[in-house]
Amino acid sequence: MGRRRGKVPPPWAVIDPWKDRDKTQAARPRTDIPCNGPARGPSLPEGGRPMSDFQYDLVVIGSGPAGQKAAINAARLGKRVCLIDRPTSVGGVCIHTGTIPSKAIREAILHLTGLRERSIYGASYQVKDRITMADLLYRCDHVVRSEVDVIRSQMNAAGIEVFSGTASFAGPHDIRIELESGSTLVRGEHILIAVGTVPARPAETLFTPGRVIDSSELLELRELPASMTVVGGGVIGIEYACMMCAAGVKVTVVESRPRLLEFVDDELAEALQFRIREMGIRLRLGESVARIRLEPDRVEADLASGKVVRSEVLLYAIGRQGATAGLKLEAAGLAAAEFQIRLNDRNALTGLLDTLGLSDAAHASTRLGVL
């Protein structure tokens, strides 16, 4: 065997494409990018900053796992980075309405119902007799606040400027940020769209707070309902159906496909369905909702088969779609399709839209941070 020449970097090493360039020039933002001019209205809270202060190597829209990883990786390579997200959404869907809240609520239910200890103390054991929504959200809010603090600390340590506002395109390289004090314009040589997803909503369905809701609005319920209909037998629908049932809610799941979780092996799906029915959840498989009617004390779902499912609350969990509304993609020459952002050859812009959840894009976005 011949001798190895040079040092081979380990697979986890960060590769810097600017290594052989003049570092002073590499870290300097481009100034030849066309700009639509300064934003009208008040500037940023600091005030009086020149437009050159708002020029970045990378502008990241969205602060979920994908946006975080890309921003931090680029900052470590000496690039000037800014990250934009709504004031109440730092951390993205994962932190506020997705993975973190659902798992925090799950742990709260397991603790308060005593499910984990019933094999020792008996089937009637529980920590609290009557579980309320406030009990579940107390733990959830605590976890969310802690995670947001961690993210803000990471951004600060990496030297990333965080803007709390709503972003939209004003041009291929220009992003307008609507702040509480007005609006401002930032310019990026590269722009990463990592806005995550929102619950999919049927256009013909009239959503009503507290009665006909999606998975994000479930966290806004003031009280646990006595009964709930879950439309959708996917991961999100089944997760919340099982949690609500464990908390004492009578649950019915309506799924248009012949079984739950079609991507799962048949034997596993059958075992899951058996366990779900054993918990007391009613399954209506191969059924679809034809119409929803709001009555004074209940929600009635008319199924295509002619059956009627009644409950206090109806939860739609039929998937998620890209949160591109309000981005004004057309200003950058982009268009949003159902599961992607369409790019054309003339755009010097990379679009990333993960409709399956930002956590799934975190590893890919780490590489995208190496611009």
Q: How far is CA 8 from the centre of its chain?
A: 37
Sign, CA dihedral 74-80-86-90, equals positive
CATH topology of domain 201-318: FAD/NAD(P)-binding domain (3.50.50)
Give me the residue spans of the domains in the chain: 54-200+319-371, 201-318
**SS3 per residue for 92-140:** HHHHHCCHHHHHHHHHHHHHHHCHHHHHHHCCCCCCCCCCCHHHHHHHH
pLDDT at residue 16 above 90? no
pLDDT, tens only, 37-83: 333 333 444 455 655 578 999 999 999 999 999 999 999 999 999 99
299: left (phi over 0), alpha (psi -120 to 50) or beta: beta
E strand intervals along 138-181 = 161-164, 166-169, 174-179
Q: Under a CB-based contact definition with an 8 Å cutoff, are residues 368 and 355 in contact?
A: no
Are both 54-200+319-371 and 201-318 of the same fold? yes
Tell whether the model's pLDDT for residue 315 goes beyond 60. yes
> 342: pLDDT confidence band, cut at 50, 70 and 90?
low
Count of C-beta atoms within a 10 Å radius of residue 5:
6
Give the pLDDT confidence of 82-139 residue by residue, as tens digits: 999 988 888 998 999 999 999 999 999 999 999 888 888 888 898 988 899 999 999 8
- Six-digit token string for 252: 């019915």
Class of domain 54-200+319-371: alpha beta
Q: Average pLDDT of 347-364?
A: 38
Task: Specify the pLDDT at position 359.
Answer: 36
d(Cα 194, Cα 207) in Å, to the nearest integer?
27
Nearest Cα to Cα of residue 108 among 251, 290, 246: 246
Q: How far apart are CA 160 and CA 139, in angstroms?
A: 30
- CA torsion through residues 123, 129, 133, 135, sign: negative
Percent of the chain with pLDDT over 90: 62
Q: What is the pLDDT of residue 347?
A: 43
Strand 335-336 relative to strand 320-322, pairing: unpaired
Interhelix angle 235-246/266-279, rounded to 10 degrees, is 30
State the Cα–Cα distance between residues 360 and 347, nearest whole angstrom: 25
* Whole-angstrom distance, CA of residue 102 vs CA of residue 239: 8
